[in-house]
Amino acid sequence: MLYTFMDFCAGIGCWRLWLEQAWFQCIAYSEIDPKAEYTYKTFFGNKEQNFWNLMKINPDNLPDFDLLIAWFPCQTFSVMGQRKGMEDPRGQVILWIKRILQQKKTKYFILENVKGLVNHNWWKTLKDILEMLDETGYYVKRQVLNTKDYGLPQSRERIYFLWVRKDLWPFNEKLKFPMSVNQEPLENYLIENSSKHNFSKTRSETMIRYLNNKYNKWELSIDDVIKKEWCIIDTRQSDIRFYQWFSPTLRNGRHWLIYSKNGKLREISGLEWLLLQWIPYELASKIIWKLPDTDLLSQAWNAMSVNVIKAIWEIFFDFISSINPHGSYTTWLSNRKTLISEWVWSYREIEQLETR
């Protein structure tokens, strides 16, 4: 059976990367950022319509679909922002999602946001969202998950919501979130070999001045930093932080995330930002030539971690199958036709990239 979904606040399409490996077909999407849309089309083509601003969509103009996916803007709930919550227009996206759900009666939907949503406004914002969507006719399971607990070496805590329309919910069925798995080595993802990302003499001198400023003086030398192989280094005004086994959360403003490789300091490249969200190498390699690293960082920051999507989808698909039995995830996995050939593993087999 072929299920259909719409990809709202789609970004670069991380949910779609995995859903199209299953019995789901994207029939349309909405994304307001032209650069993100450009990457989305580079990954998936031009066939589906972009409805652009979710808050201007008339639900009557949407086709019918089974699953709604949405990453609604997190800046308004994040500790990195002003935390205006629902008072910020971006925080009101959830109200328009509710409007679409009321009109379309979608069977299932999945939302993602920053961990800060949990305790925003002393938990009132979360309570209001849950009550609003309960009244709309949906049961929900929610949990904060960390990307690094599902194999990918990036610490990234996000809250995930799994919603099922009440008339479909099997009361004897318990929907549980996935168990954690072993983390992969960080060096599997820091694979860029282009000299473009080596520290130049000027950048090295800037780093030395940073290490000798009033906050960091006498703590470390640049030789100490270089010796920390396969360790991501996060420079801040008041300190310097080292992440030996994983990356800190990808976000804007972290343009000085660096690491040491073969005795040289390197900035994390746009390719590596995308890989650290589990974007397949063959897709990432299509866009890294077309956009600057600053744009790729912004897109990776706004993206969802594909490894977590995979882990969630495995358990959610089995749950959906228990409602509409067309085979479990295990059955699907054994019979699936991979739409993106060797889509996850290809970049890990690459020993060296061509110098750009």
What length does the chain have? 356
Measured distance CA(354)–CA(356) in Å, rounded: 6
Q: DSSP assignment, residue 150?
A: B
Torsion of CA 22, 28, 29, 30, to 10 degrees: -170
What's the rounded Cα separation, in Å, for the pair 63 and 238? 52
35 vs 109: CA distance, rounded Å: 26
**Selected catalytic residue, list 14, 26, 74, 231:** 74
Which H or E run includes 94? helix 93-104
Other C-beta atoms within 10 Å of 23: how many?
Answer: 18
Instruction: Give yes or no for a contact between 181 and 149, defined as CB atoms under 8 angstroms apart.
Output: yes
Starting at the earlier edge strand, list the strands of the sheet with 108-114: 49-50, 24-29, 3-8, 67-71, 108-114, 157-165, 138-146
- Residue 264, strand partner residues: 261
Return the SS3 of 209: helix
Helix axes 124-136, 93-104, angle to 10 degrees: 10
Q: Are 265 and 198 in contact (CB under 8 A)?
A: yes
CA distance 63 to 69: 15
d(CA 90, CA 310): 27
Q: How far apart are the first and last CA of the chain?
A: 44
Task: State phi, psi for 39 to the nearest 5 degrees.
Answer: -65, -40
Can you name the residues that pair with 162 across neighbouring β-strands? Answer: 110, 141
14: annotated active-site residue: no
What is the distance of C-alpha 107 from the center of its chain?
Answer: 23
Query: Hey, which residues are catalytic here?
Result: 74
